[in-house]
Amino acid sequence: EGPIENKTVKDIPLEPYPLLDLFEWADDLDLTRDDHRDEVFQLLYENYVEDADSTFRFKYTTEFLDWALKPPGYKKEWHVGVRVKATGRLIGFIAGTPCDLKVREQLVKSVEINFICVHKKLRSKRLAPILIKEVTRRVNLQGIFQDLYTAGVVLPSPVSVCRYNHRPLNWSKLYDIGFSYLPENATKTQMIAKYTLTKEGKLNGLRRAELKDFDQIFALLQKFQERYELVQDFTRDELKHWLFGNVDLQDKVKVIHTFVIEDEAEPGKITDFFSFYLLPFSILDNEEHSELGCAYLFYYATDCDENQAALKRRLTDLIGEALIIAKSLGVDVFNCVSCQDNNLFLQDLKFGQGDGILNYYLFNYKAKAINGGLDSQQKVDYDTVSKVGVVML
């Protein structure tokens, strides 16, 4: 296992990749400027569609982009844009963000590539491969030669494959918009009852995380993720950003929500934490509903280290709390991927398997395949846990 091609910075072209004559690189792009951030927002909002039949489109907030695109150590050169020369209009974008990895204990300095987007009207111009080459060139110039990215499409040799899972929180709305179906042997009342949550969870000591908890959260996650073969090697500042984001944001526009369990027997001691981020979808063709509230499970950890059965019970209770909180925030569906130890709680918490597959790619690094929690038919294997600890946005 290791890098495939050992390039050095001096092999890397200093000039940007050539573009078709009517385009130019947006070298001035600076996402600390509201006008530039809003241009990226607009491009993604109108052209970055997740589901195949264009029923839904990600409903970005600028707060989401600020959080996702500007973690500690980010480089503005890695926010790569393409403009139409004649009009200055932004029509292409791709982002790289710092993401040091550990692949089976090997430290791999890498960058996470995300948000690749080309304007709908310019899809056939082979711009996407040039965007990937250009952001890779700029990352290489900084001495980083490995990239991590995920895609629904199958490209040569993913390092891991995971599956989407969905937990309805507002079943009747998901049914109305055609996302959830009514099984033959069930009535709508029964389906609504199936997904109804209790008002309170089971765990005492649950509260929102505060910055004073951070040291314990950091230590808890470092220890917890020793069980995985692919993890992000967070600095303290990075994890603080990913779990607390802009601490001064009101709950209403907060993107990232992090909670802790404080040990009743030992006040001040944090035994568990979990987090999820909110990223709604616009519903494109439904007069009754215009938006779908989505929460995505993010990082979590527990100090429960007895046996698999105890861990299963603990994680089920912990993420069960996340469902109740997400529901109280108006979320309609709680999403997670078959990574981390998620397979332990998917069934008991009534997650359904999605038809979305998430391939993890590690560019320019040869690694034996890492268990993504799926069986040979790429269905969730509820009897195994994945060895993937990295949660991609």
Residue 58 touches ligand R64, criterion: CB under 6 A: yes
Return d(Cα 281, Cα 283) in angstroms, integer: 6
Under the criterion CB under 6 A, does residue 337 sit at the interface with ligand R64? yes
| Active site annotation includes 393 | yes
Q: How far is the CB of 158 from ligand R64 (least distance, A)?
A: 15
Residue 164 vs 360, nearer CB to ligand R64: 164
151 is an interface residue for ligand R64 by CB under 6 A: no
Distance of closest approach, residue 288 Cβ to ligand R64, in angstroms: 16
Tell me the CA end-to-end span of the chain in Å, nearest whole number.
26
Q: How far is the CB of 115 from ligand R64 (least distance, A)?
A: 5
Q: Decide: is 140 part of the binding site for ligand R64 (CB under 6 A).
A: no
- Residues 169-208, mask of contacts with ligand R64 (x by CB under 6 A): ----------x-----------------------------
Length of the chain: 393
Interface residue with ligand R64 among 56, 93, 195, 351 (CB under 6 A) is 56
Phi, psi (deg, nearest 5) at residue 91? -125, 0
Burial of 247 (0-12, 13-18, 19+ CB in 10 A): exposed
Range list of β-strands (E), 227-280: 230-232, 256-262, 270-278
Least distance to ligand R64, CB of residue 64, Å: 8
Size of the site for ligand R64 (CB under 6 A): 23
Which one of residues 103, 255, 333, 346 is an interface residue with ligand R64 (CB under 6 A)? 333
Bridge partners, 166 (sequence order): 335, 352
Burial classification of residue 165, based on how many CB atoms lie within 10 Å of its CB (0-12 exposed, 13-18 middle, 19 or more buried): buried
Residue 107 has a CB neighbour count (10 Å cut-off) of: 10
| Least separation in angstroms between CB 294 and ligand R64 | 5
In the complex with ligand R64, which residue's Cβ is closer, 26 or 174?
A: 174
> Which residues touch 204 (CB under 8 Å, ≥6 apart)?
261, 264
Shortest reach from residue 149's CB to ligand R64, in Å: 11
For the CA atoms of the chain, what is the radius of gyration?
Answer: 21
Task: Say if CB 205 and CB 261 are below 8 A apart.
Answer: yes
Nearer to ligand R64, 154 or 219 (CB): 154
Q: Closer to ligand R64 at the Cβ: 95 or 127?
A: 95
Q: What is the four-CA torsion angle of 248, 253, 256, 262, rounded to 10 degrees? A: 70
Kindly list the catalytic residues.
Answer: 393
Binding footprint of ligand R64 on the chain (CB under 6 A):
50-51, 56, 58, 68, 114-115, 164, 166, 179, 279, 281, 292, 294, 296, 333, 335-337, 354, 356, 358, 393
